[in-house]
């Protein structure tokens, strides 16, 4: 785990395996353990509580705004006609709620300025 010299607030981490190139909740808990000094159980509980709060807010139909990161928004997609690609049969697609994410301009800027 390294601190980015360009921005001391940004924590970089190495992906341990090519099979799992994603940041996991377990890795986030480990970062809290290493960086803040919480014990493993507190770290895991804090990460779980954070994601439970975001999930419940979205389920309740509330948008979630994380300053400097982005916004999660609930969007209602209208019903529409669809087709079974195999048979060509017309199938109605029901109305549904979907979550969209829009990155903040600060996050977009960080992504653009990252070395490739």
CATH number at residue 45: 4.10.520.10
Rounded Cα gap, residues 107 and 68, in angstroms: 6
The answer on 57 and 113 residing in a single domain is: no
pLDDT digits (tens, 9 = 90+) for 68-114: 999 999 999 999 999 999 999 999 999 999 999 999 999 999 999 98
Q: What is the pLDDT at residue 37? A: 83
Higher pLDDT, 32 or 72: 72
The parent domain of residue 88 ranges over 63-116
Pairing mode, strands 70-77 and 64-66: antiparallel
Q: What is the pTM of this model?
A: 0.69
Residue 47 CB neighbours (<10 A): 19
**Number of domains composing the chain:** 2
């Amino acid at each position: 785990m390294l601190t980015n010299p360009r921005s001391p607030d940004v924590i970089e981490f190495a992906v341990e395996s090519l099979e799992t190139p994603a940041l996991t909740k377990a890795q986030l808990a480990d970062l809290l353990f290493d960086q803040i000094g919480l014990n493993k159980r507190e770290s895991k509980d804090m990460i779980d509580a954070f994601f439970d709060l975001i999930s419940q807010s979205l389920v309740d139909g509330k948008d979630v705004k994380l300053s400097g990161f982005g916004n999660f928004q609930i969007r209602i997609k209208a019903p529409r006609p669809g087709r079974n690609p195999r048979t060509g049969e017309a199938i109605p697609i029901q109305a549904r709620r979907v979550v969209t994410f829009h990155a903040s301009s600060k996050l977009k800027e960080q992504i653009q300025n990252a070395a490739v």
